């Protein structure tokens, strides 16, 4: 089976009320924008009926592929599972709660050539109209400022779920639970450029957030220190070695 032009990975945890509309909307948008695509949804051990909803979606359209984690492993693990199963050179990520507009994926894809790997390894979505509460926005701005000053990742909104990344670049990164929050810094560390693209952030219409400000801050500090250590202890020979032989 030929690889699609683009793969889209959607991690989902307890999103039974939203996942159907998220995937159906995305399929309508991507049908008009790409010659071929696949959507890989990873259910990260949901305790609700997310798995049942996903089964129905996959049975209706073979462009939707579903992978079930037997237990919750976290967003980064779900993204890695999806990346391992994705078949395209470039993989977009978006959340399963409906806050990410699939049209933003189309805008991000315009920044690169999906048929090859060049100097850019990551296109990062930057939310210009965050719909979170004031406390969440303040915590996010503080965390982004601290991270940017220490890691120099040149990304104002690294926690945005909308990313477009070279699959092999993602899989070359050292894996840890909060990897998804440090994709810009690690992409640059591997020798690739990143491009920031404004994206739309919508209000959640179903389900609830999986994070608290306090929990995010406590874990984030240790993660940040760990990433600094990883980057100082990881040396790479050059980005060209991550390109697939067929691209040379």
Backbone phi, psi, residue 34, to 5°? -125, 145
Structural domain that includes position 110: 6-247
Distance separating alpha carbons of residues 122 and 169, to the nearest angstrom: 9
Q: Is residue 1 part of a domain?
A: no
Radius of gyration of the chain (CA): 17
Residue 160 pLDDT > 50, yes or no? Answer: yes
Report the mean per-residue pLDDT for the chain: 87
Closest by Cα among 201, 187, 72, 176 to 125: 201
- Tens of pLDDT, residue by residue over 7-63, are 999 999 999 999 999 999 999 999 999 999 999 999 999 999 999 999 999 999 999
**CB contact set of 122 (below 8 Å; sequence gap of 6+):** 163, 164, 165, 166, 169, 183, 184, 187, 192, 194, 195
Q: In what order do the strands lie in the sheet with 193-199?
A: 64-69, 37-44, 6-12, 90-93, 163-166, 120-127, 193-199
Q: Is residue 54 part of a domain?
A: yes
Closest by Cα among 189, 204, 203 to 234: 189
Task: Please report which confidence band the pLDDT of residue 229 belongs to, taking 50, 70 and 90 as the band edges.
Answer: confident
- Tens of pLDDT, residue by residue over 166-207, are 999 999 999 999 999 999 999 999 999 999 999 999 987 765
Global pTM reads 0.85
Q: Find the mean pLDDT for residues 129-158.
A: 68
Q: Is residue 158 part of a domain?
A: yes
Residue, of 230 and 220, whose pLDDT is higher: 230
What is the domain-level CATH number for residue 101?
3.90.550.10
Q: Is residue 37 part of a domain?
A: yes
Residue, of 76 and 245, whose pLDDT is higher: 76
Q: Is residue 23 part of a domain?
A: yes
Contact (Cβ atoms closer than 8 angstroms) between residue 42 and residue 82: yes
Distance separating alpha carbons of residues 248 and 243, to the nearest angstrom: 8
Number of domain units in the chain: 1
Residue 247 pLDDT > 90, yes or no? Answer: no
**CB contact set of 145 (below 8 Å; sequence gap of 6+):** none
H or E segment to which residue 233 belongs: helix 213-233
Contact (Cβ atoms closer than 8 angstroms) between residue 88 and residue 97: no
Q: Is residue 112 part of a domain?
A: yes
Q: Is residue 144 part of a domain?
A: yes
Task: Please report which confidence band the pLDDT of residue 111 belongs to, taking 50, 70 and 90 as the band edges.
Answer: very high
Give the CA distances from residue 43 to residues 131, 166, 173, in Å, rounded to whole numbers and listed in that order. Answer: 25, 22, 22
Residue, of 27 and 135, whose pLDDT is higher: 27
Distance separating alpha carbons of residues 66 and 55, to the nearest angstrom: 7
- Tens of pLDDT, residue by residue over 57-90, are 999 999 999 999 999 999 999 999 999 999 999 9
């Amino acid at each position: 089976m030929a690889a699609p032009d683009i793969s889209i990975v959607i991690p989902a945890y307890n999103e039974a009320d939203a996942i159907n509309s998220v995937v159906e909307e995305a399929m309508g948008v991507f049908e008009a924008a790409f010659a071929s695509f696949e959507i890989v949804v990873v259910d990260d051990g949901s305790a609700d009926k997310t798995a049942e909803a996903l089964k129905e979606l996959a049975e209706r359209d073979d462009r939707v592929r579903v992978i079930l984690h037997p237990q919750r492993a976290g967003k980064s693990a779900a993204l890695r599972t999806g990346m391992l199963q994705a078949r395209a050179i470039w993989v977009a990520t978006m959340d399963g709660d409906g806050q990410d507009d699939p049209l933003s994926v189309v805008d991000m894809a315009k920044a690169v050539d999906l048929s090859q790997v060049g100097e850019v390894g990551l296109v990062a979505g930057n939310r210009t109209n965050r719909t979170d509460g004031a406390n969440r926005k303040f915590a996010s701005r503080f965390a982004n400022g601290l991270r940017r000053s220490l890691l120099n990742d040149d990304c104002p909104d690294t926690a945005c779920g909308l990313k477009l990344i070279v699959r092999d670049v993602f899989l070359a990164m050292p894996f840890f639970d909060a990897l998804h929050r440090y994709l810009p810094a690690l992409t640059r560390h591997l020798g690739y450029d990143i491009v920031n693209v404004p994206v739309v952030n919508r209000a959640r219409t179903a389900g609830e957030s999986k994070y608290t400000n306090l929990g995010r801050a406590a874990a984030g500090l240790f993660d940040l220190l760990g990433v600094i250590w990883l980057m100082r202890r990881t040396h790479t020979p050059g980005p060209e070695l991550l390109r697939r032989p067929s691209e040379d």
